[in-house]
């Protein structure tokens, strides 16, 4: 679903931050502490208790099993739930005990409207307005938060929900749901590489 008509362009302009290296600072062990899945909390809504998935450079809710296309080492993800961690206020997808991880960004461009994307070293940031900073570090059962707004899930035509972070509230006629993203700790997390459209 294109959100050009869904809600107005974000009016909050992010402070300009010089691009940081894709990989987290510090050792691999430091970088991969505190791994977690994210579970949506929206009582009474169709996304309630669903886990966030990652596929084709974007984050999703209610992604069908046949669209789970991550490549994992040493196991499989439960319900395709993406494994993440926060380092230096940046959010990463867990790729193993190495110094290379895919990174999550908020697309603050006029076309992006706060869509959550991820990128890798080969592709680089998807656009100059892709914001990588501002994430909190949640403990088990706590909410992941961003300084750029609240989590929002909007229905696609195929029944999946694309995930955004925004301060805007869409119109009542749109199939969008604000939700809380709760961290579920993963002490034995499975490392994966998540698919790209490129």
Q: What is the dihedral of CA 61, 195, 107, 142, to 10 degrees?
A: 50
Q: Is the Cα torsion angle 77, 44, 160, 155 positive or negative in sign?
A: negative
Please answer whether residues 102 and 195 qualify as being in contact, where contact means their C-beta atoms are separated by less than 8 angstroms: no
Domain presence at residue 3: no
Domain presence at residue 16: no
The pLDDT tens digits for 134-184 are 999 888 889 999 999 999 999 998 999 999 999 886 656 568 999 999 999
Phi-psi region of 187 (alpha: psi -120 to 50; beta: other; left: phi over 0): alpha
Q: What CATH number is attached to the domain comprising 92?
A: 2.80.10
Structurally, the chain folds into a number of domains equal to 1
Beta-carbon contacts of residue 42 (< 8 Å; ≥ 6 apart): 48, 153, 177, 178, 179, 180
Please answer whether residues 12 and 167 qualify as being in contact, where contact means their C-beta atoms are separated by less than 8 angstroms: yes
Domain presence at residue 43: yes
The pLDDT tens digits for 21-44 are 344 444 333 444 689 999 999 999
Global pTM? 0.81
Three-state secondary structure call for residue 137:
coil
Q: Report residue 146 as tokens.
A: 């961003």
Domain presence at residue 1: no
Domain range for 107 is 32-191
């Amino acid at each position: 679903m294109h959100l050009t008509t869904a809600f107005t362009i974000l009016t909050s302009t992010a402070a300009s931050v010089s691009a940081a290296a894709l990989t987290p600072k510090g050792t691999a062990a430091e970088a991969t502490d505190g791994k977690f899945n994210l579970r949506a909390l929206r009582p009474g809504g169709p996304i309630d208790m669903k886990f966030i998935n990652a596929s084709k450079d974007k984050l999703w809710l209610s992604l069908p099993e046949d669209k789970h296309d991550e490549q994992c080492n040493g196991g499989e993800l439960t319900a395709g739930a993406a494994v993440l961690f926060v380092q230096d206020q940046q959010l990463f997808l867990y790729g193993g005990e190495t110094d290379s991880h895919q990174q999550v960004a908020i697309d603050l461009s006029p076309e992006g409207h706060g869509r959550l994307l991820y990128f890798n070293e080969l592709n680089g940031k998807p656009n100059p307005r892709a914001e990588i900073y501002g994430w909190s570090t949640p403990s088990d059962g706590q909410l992941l938060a961003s300084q750029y707004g609240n989590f929002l899930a909007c229905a696609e035509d195929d029944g999946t929900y694309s995930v955004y972070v925004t301060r805007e509230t869409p119109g009542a006629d749109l199939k969008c749901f604000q939700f809380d993203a709760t961290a579920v700790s993963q002490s034995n997390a499975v490392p994966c590489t998540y698919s790209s459209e490129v």
